[in-house]
């Protein structure tokens, strides 16, 4: 009889501890009234093609200026690549290769955060945020900078547009692969 009561109590304890959690782990990480996930970043692949149909080999593409629907989004560097493992040829002060190399850019919106001394400063901060709601957008790569082997730098202005789509409740959007031609 004691065993039966013991097993019943143990069963009740297990049943009472199991809780139907209707929220996924992603929903628990977001604090909002409507349960939506805030949009945070753009993912872009950039490759740089030279005039002789080869691709430029650099560690990173620097100071990439990105605009979304003519609103400034950010100026950021691509992720760094280990170029020692790339089959490349030296031409002048730069390396080139016949194989396409994609440089990954993870672009969060660049908003300066004031010290919030007044309500006006906080309102200015909120107004600077350009919220991307679900829909179609145009991404402009206005400019970027390349550092060559002799540590000289050159800024390019490709003004390259591409379109992308923001989906409901996604944290990021893949803009696509952008091929930029340089001389």
CA distance 86 to 6: 67
8 A C-beta contact, residue 38 and residue 170: no
Determine the pLDDT at residue 124: 67
Phi and psi angles of residue 138, each rounded to the nearest 5 degrees, phi first: -110, 130
pLDDT of amino acid 117: 76
pLDDT digits (tens, 9 = 90+) for 24-65: 434 434 444 556 677 789 999 999 999 889 999 999 999 999
pLDDT at 152: 94
Task: Give the other-Cβ count within 10 Å of 153's Cβ.
Answer: 11
Q: Six-digit token pair at 96?
A: 């080139």
Range from 69-78, 105-114, 120-129 carrying the lowest mean pLDDT: 120-129
pLDDT band at 95 (very low <50, low <70, confident <90, very high): very high
Q: Please state the rounded mean pLDDT for residues 155-166.
A: 95
The mean pLDDT value for 76-102 works out to 94
Tokens of 38: 């805030």
Rg (CA), the chain: 25
Q: Has residue 73 got a pLDDT over 80?
A: yes
169 sits in the region (left: phi over 0; alpha: psi -120 to 50; else beta) called left
Indicate whether 19 pLDDT > 50. Answer: no
Chain mean pLDDT for the chain: 82
pTM confidence score = 0.71
Q: What is residue 169's predicted lDDT score, i.e. its pLDDT? A: 86
Residue range 119-146: mean pLDDT, rounded: 83
């Amino acid at each position: 009889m004691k065993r039966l009561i013991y097993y019943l109590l143990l069963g009740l304890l297990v049943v009472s501890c199991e809780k139907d959690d209707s929220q996924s782990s992603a929903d628990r990480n977001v604090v909002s009234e409507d349960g939506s996930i805030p949009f945070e970043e753009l993912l872009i692949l950039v490759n740089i093609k030279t005039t002789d149909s080869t691709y430029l080999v650099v560690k990173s593409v620097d100071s990439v200026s990105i605009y979304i629907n003519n609103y400034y989004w950010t100026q950021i560097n691509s992720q760094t690549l280990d170029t020692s493992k790339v089959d490349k040829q030296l031409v002048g002060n730069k390396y080139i290769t016949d194989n396409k190399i994609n440089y990954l850019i993870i672009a969060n919106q660049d908003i300066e955060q004031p010290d919030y001394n007044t309500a006006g400063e906080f309102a200015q901060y909120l107004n600077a945020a350009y919220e991307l709601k679900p829909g179609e957008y145009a991404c402009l790569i206005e400019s970027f900078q390349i550092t060559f082997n002799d540590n000289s730098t050159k800024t390019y202005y490709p003004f390259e547009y591409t379109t992308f789509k923001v989906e409901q409740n996604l944290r990021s959007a893949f803009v696509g692969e952008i091929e930029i031609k340089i001389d």
